[in-house]
Amino acid sequence: MRRTTLHRIVLLLALLLCLLCACRTQAPQPPSDSSGLSSRHPKASQREWVPELDYETQRRFDRLFLEAVRQKQKEGIDAEYELLRAALDIAPYAPEALYEMAVLKLSYSVYSDTLARAEGDSLLRQAVELDPDNLYYKETLATYLANSARYRDAIRLYEEIADVRLSGETLATLEWLYKTSGDYAGAIRTLERLERMDGRSEALSMEKFHTYLAMKDTEHAYQAIEDLCAEYPLDLRYRVLLGDLYDQNGYHERALDIYRDVLAAEPDNSYAQISLLAYYKAARADSLYLNLLHSVVLNPRTQSAARIEAMRAYAIDNIKAQADSTPVLRLFAKALSEPQESRDMAELCAYYMIERNMPTDSVLKVFYRMLEIEPDYTKARLQILQVMLQRGNMDRVLQICRDGELYDPSEVTFYYYEGEAYYRRGQNAEAIRALQRGTERIDEHTDPLLASDIYALLGDVLHDSRLADEAYLAYDRSLSYNELNLFCLNNYAYFLAVEGRELDKAERMSRLTVEVGEVEPTFVDTYAWVLFRLKRYEEARIYIDQALAVLPETVENASVFDHAGDIYFLCGERSKALEFWKKALALTDDASLRKQLRRKIARRRL
């Protein structure tokens, strides 16, 4: 008996020892993953196979992960990536690290980097599988899938979210996903869930109506609108919608009866008026259409939006048919003679007139009418300003700009053209003041090209006022906003060359003007003159010849012929130089230049 017991104990100890050895030599392996995901990261159903970390290893993981989160807050993306990678080497099954790495890859990989996006996609799915109760992870994945047009997968996830955390936002997203994917039945089911949760509402009923229309389920669409009509009997919009539905489905007489009933109860109902106008137009009932159109457009009790909509449809039809514009313009004139709630009718009229190529003066009157209705409407004032600049009417330009500055003081364009108008009139001091006020309005929202132009013009006026140093500072500011402002580069280089200052800088700027864009004779003349001042006479002659080849012999170009004479003189062609000087003398009416030219001609030298 004793031997038998001992024998059994020995056998049990041997069996236990074998089991312990087996446990030490072979770790448990997760079942094979048939989903195609990496076997390194098991599914949620396999979470029992994820080994727990010992205390020290968990501490090391926590330190790395928390530092990664800190780097994320600091936007240290590279550091965050390295820390997450190290954390995942320690704990490859940690859903929080998988999630953050997924977001990192999906957020910062370029769209064309399909490998990084695929890795991000896989990591995000693994995080959700490992921690399926984390709705934040699940919602992130669902949003990503929706944005990637994988609507069916996104819907499945949002349905799971809704089962746990039912909210109006989640159901609204689900409804959108169902409609976007073309599953209108799913959209209707979701709308019904919203009704059960929040109760029936006008907005939900209208959404159901439009969804039934998209499904071409007219029976339920009729029912949805009829329910709205019954629930909101004083809101005649739904009666009009019911009429529209009848009309679209061929029940025209029934639709007409509804429109007339609505207008009998509420003669100024805009919805019924617009629908009835469309009905008459489709039925080619021209006289009825025109009578109702005039009634709608000219009735001060009609809502402004309805008047505009009716007039827009009439104007567009007229443009498409290229029909007589007289009746359209006559109706616009009558409408605009009445008090206006907004500028919309005048703006529509202006665009119609431009489309029909009406005279500029006629269009201008409408823009002025816009400003009567809405004095701070900058767009209309800028349109008028453009016309006055084209006509060279500087008095009107000044008035328009001053008014514009009062109503819209942040619009730098007004200061620019006010300065230009004063400059053209020879009022340099006033021009400088206007332009300086404009520079004070420049901020981060200002178009950099406009900012560059206003400083460039300020530089021109300052130089013309014999304030060269201030002018060069303005030119530098101009080029800081637009380093390719060619007119600024040209004028800056020319003035430096005339004064013999910073000629190397002048040459770089002027060369840029002749290398960029189309050839401008004035720029070529400046470059030739800069080369002349640098004593590169043969090069200068090449460029001055290019300028002379295209420049007409006008008063404005007298200085170019003077430059040509100087260049040719120092190239040793004195008789040719004399011809150019004489031509410049015949062209110019500038007293100072005429005096210089006479001296050169008389002495036959510079």
Cα–Cα distance for residue pair 315/313, rounded to 1 Å = 6
The number of residues making up the chain comes to 606
pTM: 0.69
pLDDT in tens, 128-139: 999 999 999 999
Cα–Cα distance for residue pair 2/335, rounded to 1 Å = 121
User: Which of these ranges, 357-366, 390-399, 583-592, has the smallest mean pLDDT?
Assistant: 583-592
The predicted model gives 511-517 an average pLDDT of 90
Superfamily of domain 52-131: Tetratricopeptide repeat domain (1.25.40.10)
Amino acid 54: pLDDT:
87
Q: Would you state the structure tokens that stand for residue 83, as one six-digit string?
A: 């820390």
Cα–Cα distance for residue pair 481/539, rounded to 1 Å = 31
**Can you point out the beta strands (E) in 320-359?**
none
Cα–Cα distance for residue pair 445/253, rounded to 1 Å = 56
Amino acid 213: pLDDT:
87
Amino acid 201: pLDDT:
81
Amino acid 563: pLDDT:
94
DSSP symbols for 264-318: HH-TT-HHHHHHHHHHHHHTT-HHHHHHHHHHHHH-TTS-HHHHHHHHHHHHHHH
Q: Place 422 in a pLDDT band, splitting at 50, 70 and 90.
A: very high
pLDDT in tens, 372-383: 999 999 999 999
Has residue 154 got a pLDDT over 70?
A: yes
Cα–Cα distance for residue pair 518/528, rounded to 1 Å = 17
Has residue 281 got a pLDDT over 80?
A: yes
Torsion region of 250: left, alpha or beta (phi above 0 gives left; psi -120 to 50 gives alpha): left
The predicted model gives 329-347 an average pLDDT of 95
Q: What is the mean pLDDT of the chain?
A: 88
Task: Give, in order, the Cα–Cα distances in Å from 317 to each of 21, 292, 310.
Answer: 91, 16, 11
Amino acid 32: pLDDT:
37
The predicted model gives 94-108 an average pLDDT of 90
Amino acid 50: pLDDT:
65
- Alpha helix positions (H), 165-303: 168-180, 184-198, 202-214, 218-231, 237-248, 252-265, 270-282, 286-298
Q: For residue 448, what is the enclosing H or E element?
A: helix 448-464
User: Which of these ranges, 91-105, 393-407, 464-478, has the smallest mean pLDDT?
Assistant: 91-105
Amino acid 375: pLDDT:
96
Has residue 48 got a pLDDT over 70?
A: no
Amino acid 601: pLDDT:
87
Amino acid 28: pLDDT:
34
Q: Would you state the structure tokens that stand for residue 152, as one six-digit string?
A: 């069916």
Amino acid 115: pLDDT:
85
Q: Would you state the structure tokens that stand for residue 223, as one six-digit string?
A: 């029912």
Whether residue 596 contacts residue 605, with contact meaning beta carbons closer than 8 Å, is answered with no
C-alpha gyration radius of the chain: 40
